Amino acid sequence: MPGSLRFRLPALFLLGIVIAGVVSSVVALRLFQGYSRESSYEELGREASGIAQLYGDAALRAAEEGTPAPDFAPQALELATGDRLFYVGAPAFPGQDSGLVRLPESAVPRAVFGREGQLRFDFRPPGERRTFLAVSQPLRLEPDGPALGAIVVAKSGDVVRDQWVPLVGRLAAAIAIGGLLAWLLGLWLSRRISKPIQALAAASDEIATGNYAVQVPVGRGGSEVSQLSERFNEMAARLAATEERERQFLMSVSHELRTPLTAIKGHVDALRDGLIDDPELVAASLDVVANEATRLERLVGDVLDLAKLRAHRFTVHAEEVDMGRLVEHAYGSFGDEARRREIAFTVAGAKGAPTVITDGDRVLQVVTNLLKNAFRWTPDGGSIGLALEAANGTVRVEVTDTGPGISSEDASKIFSPFVSTDVQGTGLGLPIARELAGALGGRIELDTAPGQGSRFRLVLPSRSA
């Protein structure tokens, strides 16, 4: 197709070769024409000088000794040189015929007369339709004497033209051969380039239909097209992974929502059908309904928060936050649970902590989620530490625990939604904490190993108030 890359690339190659060939040919022709013209003038100049010397010597002998005009015919000189001979000016052999064709003074430039040396010019001899290249040489009896006239040696311009006409044919043949090679090379390159591009287009159509299990062949050599194919394959793999995560997310949300709803529906049906009439059992059922409703409310709120964070529709309010007071507040919120479970709960670095510009409520939510995770996995009688420090332009809040620790394989999964082995949790606390930390311009780091507990670290930029 005329608009396709497979057609346009060879066409561009061919056009480039043709343009370059035409420009080069024009330049070459101009140079060759100038060279041919200059060479012709030099050759005519040498002939004019020699013939003028012959006729000058003959004219001097005729004047001094009374010898006749030279008997060598100008026609013989013309035959030997291939050029035309003319004479303009006063007769060199008074009363005798020199055999030279005389020109009227009006046929040559006026500069020919009175000139000391040679003169190059173009002229048209009487009775001729062609233009001649000519060189005039003054005719003198003595080297320093006055010029009697001038010998004019001329060559037809057609002879000069005939020298570069064959060059035009050779250049045209060279352009044609170069154009053919360029077209073939362009076809080869266009197929080599367009083939992977067509594969990319076909793969894009597959992805548009929802089929992410496509792979584009990657060529060798590390070219731009090969790099594009590699990036396309990476994109397809990421899209497939994203679709799988979304599918698992929906399945997990459906499962997590169904569990409390099933419990609520069961107890409500039992109460409505009168299957439970004992006041204590009724109260227990209502407590179960209330707890499950609270859990359901918390789950829905967490899902909405996570969706807003991932859609970048979460608003962060910048305010002055006393990090020391915030950590003390988080510490106090878990004091009762720590005493009830006999967990050694400590706080450090809260005194003299800096005041930074951030969203205090969201920072507290992240720290609270980290503490909830620590208390969920730390056994009774264990220890949990909460520490605050400022260093290297950052504020760090660390939560350490003596829980079972996390394997390296699980450590890369716990920040994904609903990935939790705790039946009491929703599996959204750590994902929300990580998304919130990113929205605040920070990050969450994790140091852990099986059997050695875990250390979660919230790192925020210390933008001072």
Q: What DSSP string runs through 63-80?
A: HHH-PPPP-S-HHHHHHH
> Where along the chain do the CATH 3.30.565.10 domains lie?
319-461
HSE, side-chain direction, 13 A CA sphere, residue 102: 11
What pLDDT was estimated at residue 464?
57
Secondary structure letter of residue 106 according to DSSP: G
Amino acid at 52: A
Report the Cα 283 to chain-centroid distance in Å: 71
Shortest CA distance to 379 belongs to which of 403, 413, 351, 363?
Answer: 403
What pLDDT was estimated at residue 146?
81
Which residue is it, tokens 């994904």?
416
- Strand 84-89 and strand 101-102: the pairing is parallel
Q: What are phi and psi of 164, to 5 degrees?
A: -105, -5
The model's pLDDT over 258-287, given as tens digits with 9 standing for 90+, comes to: 767 777 787 787 777 777 777 777 787 787
The model's pLDDT over 199-246, given as tens digits with 9 standing for 90+, comes to: 777 778 877 887 777 777 776 655 677 777 778 788 887 777 777 766
Q: For the CA atoms of the chain, what is the radius of gyration?
A: 52
Shortest CA distance to 387 belongs to which of 444, 431, 345, 436?
Answer: 345
Class of domain 5-163: alpha beta
Burial class of 210 by CB neighbour count within 10 A (0 to 12, 13 to 18, 19+): exposed
Residue 344's beta-bridge partner residues?
383
Choices 1.10.760.10, 1.50.40.10, 3.40.50.300, 1.10.287.130: CATH for 224-310 = 1.10.287.130
Burial per residue of 362-391, b for 16 or more beta-carbon CB atoms within 10 angstroms, e otherwise: bbbbbbbbbbbbbbebbeeebebbbbbebe
What pLDDT was estimated at residue 384?
93
Burial class of 406 by CB neighbour count within 10 A (0 to 12, 13 to 18, 19+): buried
CA distance 276 to 272: 9
Say which CATH architecture domain 319-461 belongs to: 2-Layer Sandwich (3.30)
What pLDDT was estimated at residue 379?
92
CA distance 15 to 175: 11
Burial per residue of 444-459, b for 16 or more beta-carbon CB atoms within 10 angstroms, e otherwise: beeebeeeebbbbbbb
What pLDDT was estimated at residue 400?
93
HSE, side-chain direction, 13 A CA sphere, residue 210: 2
Strand order of the β-sheet with 119-123 is: 101-102, 84-89, 147-156, 132-140, 119-123
Which residue is it, tokens 């479970």?
341
With beta carbons less than 8 A apart as the criterion, state whether 377 and 337 touch. no
> Where along the chain do the CATH 1.10.287.130 domains lie?
224-310
What pLDDT tens digit does each residue of the chain (465 aa) get?
555 656 666 677 677 777 777 777 777 777 777 778 888 888 888 888 888 888 888 887 877 777 776 666 677 787 777 888 888 888 877 777 777 888 888 888 888 877 778 888 888 888 888 888 889 888 888 777 788 888 899 888 776 676 666 767 777 777 778 777 777 777 777 777 767 777 777 778 877 887 777 777 776 655 677 777 778 788 887 777 777 766 766 666 666 667 677 777 877 877 777 777 777 777 877 877 787 777 677 667 666 666 665 655 566 778 888 888 899 988 988 988 999 999 999 999 877 778 888 888 888 888 988 998 899 889 999 999 999 998 888 899 999 999 888 887 777 777 766 555 554 555 677 887 788 888 888 899 988 888 888 999 999 988 755
> Where along the chain do the CATH 3.30.450 domains lie?
5-163
CA distance 406 to 160: 95
Residues recorded for the chain: 465
Secondary structure letter of residue 448 according to DSSP: E
What pLDDT was estimated at residue 355?
86
What pLDDT was estimated at residue 423?
45
What pLDDT was estimated at residue 391?
82
Whole-model pTM above 0.85?
Answer: no
451: left (phi over 0), alpha (psi -120 to 50) or beta: left
